[in-house]
Structure 1
Amino acid sequence: MTDRARWASSCCLAAVLTRAGIAGLRAKSPGGRGLWERENYAGRTVGLYAGPASALAAAVAAGRVRPAAGFAVLAAGACGAWDDVAGDHRRGLRAHLSALRDGEVTSGAVKLFGISAAGLVAGALLKERFPDKVLAGIVIAGTAHFVNLVDVRPGRAAAAVIALGAPGLLREGPGAQSAAAAVGAAAAVLPDDLGERLMLGDTGAHALGAALGTAAVARNGRAGLLAYAVALVAAAAYGDKVSGAARALGA
């Protein structure tokens, strides 16, 4: 099987599993429909079924080639799921770290340290030299955070995953399957996300971001990883600054 055939199968597998997962969760609604419904920025009720469905689908599709990638996706999705269920109104890393200094462990702090730890573990498995392992961990966790950061309006996170992941499919070699898994899952969600029927939530956004991160790690050496890490840290700092400004304005 050629590299192109492998990533095509990963993309299709992720898309099919995502749609099947959404259908199954919507039919059963474990814990009751109230657990799976949220009000979006426009006051419309949307379902969270796409988050766990896309996270599991991407983990299976990426993990069948690189188990470390599947682990990173699942761990990022699990941390995001905790925030979806137990999240509070605080926005931005600074707010959650301030709460942690006061002795309160917020859902944001759980995400920060949980996804960072998972990224470092996956990075250690995907790279051989210590500096590369650390950079890989930063890239995986940073990409997960970045996709969640842009998830502020319907379809934006899914569209960002497709836009960031699709170019990687043009390059055969390591990482294509992880990128394909993220793109396939995001494409399966996008129509319902844009139609404000479903949302990825933190579960899906973090999971698909982690899949993109493992793809970047697989196809880049130290210089590329360093460039990714710097860009992602800068994006996180900017996002936290914007969140802080929004809080000051009462948004």
Structure 2
Amino acid sequence: MSRRPVVAALVAAATAGGLSALRRSLPEGLRAPWDRTNHAGDTVTLLEGPILAVAAAAGAVAGGSPSAPGVVASLGSAAFGALDDLAGDSASKGFKGHLGALARGEVTTGAVKIVGIGATGLVAAALADRRSGRGAALRSGHGSAPGVLATLVGGAAIAGAANLANLFDLRPGRTLKVTAVAGLPALLPPGAAGAATAAAALGAAAGILPDDLAGRSMLGDTGANAAGALVGLAIVERTGLRGRLAVLAVTAGLTVLSEKVSFSKVIEGNDVLRRLDALGRPKR
């Protein structure tokens, strides 16, 4: 019997308990930088982000398979997200804004995050391919694809998933629900490649979901980037070049679309999506 469901449950309990303990015991001076005003005008904490990242990394270690890719994906993407959460400026927004600023010679925290999460995704993909023995060549479905190409695409897919998860973090519970929908297929069967990573991601997400839905806390860039990167890694761990290209195409396409279309407006305009999005939130 696989121990991954047990690991997911333990990670969920640790995440919920850790967030509660941190909120109670952390001195005000250390807690205040993580406070934000949400879409409803309420003060919430972003502390669930670091809790998710650390708990998921611990879950990857406990998952029973080599854990370096999961630890790198979770903690690396969270670290660059925290940079934006704690020191970011709002002068530039989105890929277009940050890259435009970079072209003018301005290095924003967002640009540093883009480069940093890209590097984190590449390292995680390289570690995953090395441990699976697919570093030399991965099957593309039409012959043997060079391992370096598949690893590069895998790294970009992980980074794209990390960024996309952050784009959904505009309403309580939204990114965590997207994480669950995208990560559940990678959880099964429990012994397959990527299942340990998916179990860590889903367990951590489940543990903080009640607080997030209630509007008491938010993922912030720290948690959303970590959650997305882990789901991206779980998919990368079990796919070849074609699968990775598909993930990259979806994440890149939605990221470009987000520059012109509001995801929140799309969700609000669709009855099914609106109901799913609001599921579990207290009525105001």
* TM-score normalised by structure 2 residue count: 0.80
**2:30 is matched with which residue?**
32
Q: Could you tell me which amino acid in structure 1 is paired with residue 23 of structure 2?
A: R
Query: Aligned-residue CA RMSD in angstroms?
Result: 1.7
Q: Could you tell me which amino acid in structure 2 is paired with residue 203 of structure 1?
A: T
Shift of 1:200: 0.8
Q: Could you tell me which amino acid in structure 1 is paired with residue 109 of structure 2?
A: S
For the 8 Å contact 1:13–1:57, the answer to whether it is kept is no
**1:137 is matched with which residue?**
155
Give me the whole-angstrom Cα distance separating, in 2, the residues matched to 1:197 and 1:163.
Answer: 23
Give me the whole-angstrom Cα distance separating, in 2, the residues matched to 1:214 and 1:32.
Answer: 31
Shift of 1:91: 2.1
**1:186 is matched with which residue?**
205
Shift of 1:94: 0.6
Task: Pick one of 162, 171, 186 that aligns with 1:153.
Answer: 171
Does structure 1 residue 116 correspond to structure 2 residue 145?
A: no
For the 8 Å contact 2:7–2:59, the answer to whether it is kept is yes
Give me the whole-angstrom Cα distance separating, in 2, the residues matched to 1:37 and 1:218.
Answer: 35
**2:140 is matched with which residue?**
none
**2:86 is matched with which residue?**
85
Shift of 1:70: 1.1
Task: Pick one of 246, 249, 259 that aligns with 1:240.
Answer: 259
SS at match of 2:260: helix
Question: Which whole-Å deviations, capped at 9, do the CAs of 1:53-108 have from their partners, x for residues lacking one?
Answer: 00101111124432122111100000111111112223211111111222222121
Seq. identity, %: 46
SS at match of 1:93: helix
Question: Which whole-Å deviations, capped at 9, do the CAs of 1:182-232 have from their partners, x for residues lacking one?
Answer: 111111111111111011111110001111011001111111111111111
For the 8 Å contact 2:68–2:127, the answer to whether it is kept is no
SS at match of 2:261: helix
For the 8 Å contact 1:62–1:211, the answer to whether it is kept is no
Shift of 1:125: 1.5
Give me the whole-angstrom Cα distance separating, in 2, the residues matched to 1:103 and 1:222.
Answer: 35
Q: Could you tell me which amino acid in structure 2 is paired with residue 67 of structure 1?
A: A
Give me the whole-angstrom Cα distance separating, in 1, the residues matched to 2:44 and 2:160.
Answer: 27
For the 8 Å contact 2:47–2:217, the answer to whether it is kept is yes
**1:174 is matched with which residue?**
193
Give me the whole-angstrom Cα distance separating, in 2, the residues matched to 1:7 and 1:98.
Answer: 43
Give me the whole-angstrom Cα distance separating, in 1, the residues matched to 2:103 and 2:14.
Answer: 41
SS at match of 2:216: coil
Give me the whole-angstrom Cα distance separating, in 2, the residues matched to 1:44 and 1:83.
Answer: 21
Give me the whole-angstrom Cα distance separating, in 1, the residues matched to 2:158 and 2:198.
Answer: 12
- Structure 1: tracts of 5 or more residues without a match: 247-251
For the 8 Å contact 1:120–1:133, the answer to whether it is kept is yes
> Relative to total residues, which structure has the larger helix share, 1 or 2?
1
For the 8 Å contact 1:63–1:71, the answer to whether it is kept is no
For the 8 Å contact 1:6–1:177, the answer to whether it is kept is no
Give me the whole-angstrom Cα distance separating, in 1, the residues matched to 2:165 and 2:84.
Answer: 15
For the 8 Å contact 2:14–2:207, the answer to whether it is kept is no
Give me the whole-angstrom Cα distance separating, in 2, the residues matched to 1:9 and 1:229.
Answer: 31
SS at match of 2:44: strand
Give me the whole-angstrom Cα distance separating, in 1, the residues matched to 2:3 and 2:194.
Answer: 11
For the 8 Å contact 1:14–1:54, the answer to whether it is kept is no
Question: Which whole-Å deviations, capped at 9, do the CAs of 1:149-196 have from their partners, x for residues lacking one?
Answer: 111111101111111112222334010111111111111111111111
Does structure 1 residue 209 correspond to structure 2 residue 228?
A: yes
Question: Which whole-Å deviations, capped at 9, do the CAs of 1:28-54 have from their partners, x for residues lacking one?
Answer: 335433212110111100111211000
Give me the whole-angstrom Cα distance separating, in 2, the residues matched to 1:194 and 1:227.
Answer: 30
**1:249 is matched with which residue?**
none
**1:229 is matched with which residue?**
248
Structure exhibiting the larger radius of gyration computed from Cα positions: 2
Does structure 1 residue 165 correspond to structure 2 residue 183?
A: yes
